[in-house]
Amino acid sequence: MNDNDNDIKRLSRLTAILIQLQTKRLLTARALADKFGMSIRTIYRDIKTLEQAGVPIITEEGKGYRLMEGYRVPPLMFTEAQANALITAEQLVLKNKDTSFIRDYCEAIDKIKAVLRYNVQDNANLLSERTRFDQNNYLERNSNSLSDIQFALTNFRIVKIEYTNEKDQTTIRNIEPFALLNTENWLLVAYCQLRQEFRFFRLDRIKKLEILTEEFEPHKMTLQEYFERYH
């Protein structure tokens, strides 16, 4: 890894540490080291770097680090009801079978918690701890492509996939993502260039995925119009 890559990696970690400090009242160097897979000495250096950059970090001897009350980046505010709605939605997301979707949502929730006022933040953390939906926490996460497909769908990018059907036959094809349906498994509605028609694709059967640089012409219809036309 070159120096530029190291700098980018460190900047990313510093930003993540700042988000964590804004998410919780008090964090220990050990907790930060464990979260980011770094040594405690590295965390000490990172905290010092943030302080030198003007971030008001308060060290509570023997307890950990916290941000000065009132320090917020960026200046975005949620009401407590809005925060609670997002926290409740987080528990529904955790039932999802796509690991990329869970990861991206949870990272977004961390950023949202970071900009809440302390009293709302404490209540949101409490609600998160006390809210559970009936679910099998050991349910297999059987896909990891939802985030990439969402990007391709909204940016009209052709996707190359290796797909295994219900007969265990594998084909490689280029598709034009059109819509996503959430059933027991995620389903993608896409125009298949191989078959020259719209098809359903189960995300858990997509074995490999590549977003191509080539764009496709957006399909001029709504999802409702698609169902009316093809079903």
**Pairwise CA distance, residues 178 & 226, whole Å:** 10
Residues 81-99 have a mean pLDDT of 72
Report the pLDDT averaged over residues 88-99: 73
Q: pLDDT at residue 231 above 60?
A: yes
Contact at 8 Å (CB) between 16 and 1?
no
Alpha helices (H) in 53-180, listed in sequence order: 80-93, 99-114, 118-130, 146-154
- How crowded is residue 83: how many other Cβ atoms within 10 Å of its Cβ? 23
Q: What pLDDT does residue 223 have?
A: 86
Residues 152/203, Cβ–Cβ less than 8 Å: no
What are the structural domain ranges in the chain?
3-67, 80-130, 145-230
What is the pLDDT, as a whole number, of residue 151? Answer: 85
The pair phi, psi for residue 171, each rounded to 5°, is -130, 155
Q: Is the pLDDT of residue 33 over 80?
A: yes
Topology adopted by domain 145-230: SH3 type barrels. (2.30.30)
pLDDT of residue 132: 54
- Chain centre distance of CA 225: 30
**pLDDT single digits (tens) 173-186:** 999 999 888 776 78
Fold agreement between 3-67 and 145-230: no
The beta-carbon contacts of 157-160 under 8 Å, at least 24 apart in sequence, are 157/211, 157/212, 157/213, 157/214, 157/215, 157/216, 158/193, 158/211, 158/212, 158/214, 158/215, 158/216, 159/190, 159/209, 159/210, 159/211, 159/212, 160/209, 160/210, 160/212
Report the C-alpha gap between 68 and 75 in whole angstroms.
Answer: 15
Question: CATH 3.40.640.10: does it fit domain 3-67?
Answer: no
Structure confidence by residue, pLDDT tens digits, 51-84 = 888 888 888 887 889 888 777 655 455 666 766 6
How many Å apart are CA 106 and CA 27, to the nearest integer? 19
Query: CA-to-CA distance for 59 and 68, rounded, in angstroms?
Result: 10
C-alpha to C-alpha distance for 106 and 100, rounded to whole angstroms: 10
Helix boundaries (H) for the chain: 3-23, 29-36, 40-52, 80-93, 99-114, 118-130, 146-154, 223-230
Question: Do 149 and 203 touch, CB atoms closer than 8 A?
Answer: yes
Closest to 71 (Cα-Cα) out of 4, 134, 121, 118? 118
Cα-Cα-Cα-Cα dihedral sign, residues 52, 58, 60, 63: negative
Total Cβ atoms within 10 A of residue 214: 11
* pLDDT of 135 strictly over 60: no
Give phi and psi for 198, each to the nearest 5: -75, 140
| Tens digit of each residue's pLDDT (9 = 90 or more) over 1-27 | 555 556 667 777 887 888 788 777 788
